[in-house]
Amino acid sequence: MGWLGKTLLMAGLGLSLWGCGQSASEQQTKLVLTGSSTVAPLANELGKKFEAQNPGVRVDVQTGGSSRGFADASQGLNDLGMVSRDLTDDEKAEFQDWAIAKDGIAIIVHQDNPLTTLSDNEVTAIYLDKTNDWQALGGDTGQITVVNKAEGRSTLELFLKYFDLENGEIQADVVIGDNQQGIKTVAGNPQAIAYVSIGAAEQEIAQGTPIKLLAMDGVEATTENIKNGTFPLSRTLNLVSQGAPNPLAQQFIQFAQSPEAYAVVEAQSFVPLDSQKAKAKDLAPQS
């Protein structure tokens, strides 16, 4: 081999050795999160701050439901899955999970609907098509448009469990995927009813979207009532991985659970973890 070939070979070996000497987080510059459409807006905002603190790193957030978060994690198609509910015992045996916030699920109707609350029995009757006119509930005359969630969505699973329903029993007029589709459907149809993330609904209401949250059995559907534990249908928002997360994903998890994430979680109308609040309080400047 001539001197030029030897030189090129040595240079190539040097580059290989240099690459092997880098940490995994230095080599990886893209972090992929897939799954829950409820967690996605929060993950996007956390991702922006994480990118600002780690120049060159890109956080790619893709929706598709909590079931996609699990499936992609098990197939190595994401770095972290996003799941908007607590894991089952079987899932905990297969996946590692990290809570990053709390949220609730509540009923929404158009803002022109005069009702302010529905009992659990009334909600069940609507979704089973036993009650199909708003007048029977004390509202204005009008046939109720029932909006249901698609399979694979954690919001659907929790709704069915809370109201003791089977998805096959539900008489839906519209089937939607993410929270935004549900909110858009109700905002455009004064006769519609749907169930969505409280955080997502509060964000839209603040921006003037013509929807409102209904109290459930007399308990207001608010972030405050999720905080104090009085709202009956609440959940944790989680990140998951199958096996140990890679170093960059580990770094993102630590950031998402840190005091720095507290303001981001609140800005998205979700409830920060107690650990985030405690740490943020401890780090606050003393007067």
pLDDT tens digits, one per residue of 176-199: 999 999 999 999 999 999 999 999
Residue 44, class by beta-carbon neighbours within 10 Å (0-12 exposed, 13-18 middle, 19+ buried)? middle
pLDDT tens digits, one per residue of 9-19: 444 433 333 33
Q: Looking at residues 107-113, what average pLDDT do you find?
A: 98
What predicted TM-score, i.e. pTM, was given to this entire model?
Answer: 0.80
CA separation for the pair 92, 163 (Å, rounded) = 24
Between CA 126 and CA 133, with CA 129 as vertex, the angle to 5 degrees is 65
Confidence band of 28 (pLDDT split at 50, 70, 90): confident
- Reading the block at residue 124, the tokens are 């069940």
Instruction: Name the strand (E) or helix (H) holding 32.
Output: strand 30-35
Domains detected in the chain? 27-103+235-283 (3.40.190.10), 104-234 (3.40.190.10)
**Taking Cα atoms as reference points, which of 72, 82, 51 lies closest to residue 197?**
82
**Taking Cα atoms as reference points, which of 120, 130, 200 lies closest to residue 160?**
120
Residue position matching structure tokens 């534990």? 229
Does pLDDT of 131 surpass 60? yes
Does pLDDT of 243 surpass 60? yes
Confidence band of 285 (pLDDT split at 50, 70, 90): low
pLDDT tens digits, one per residue of 44-97: 999 999 999 999 999 999 999 999 999 999 999 999 999 999 999 999 999 999
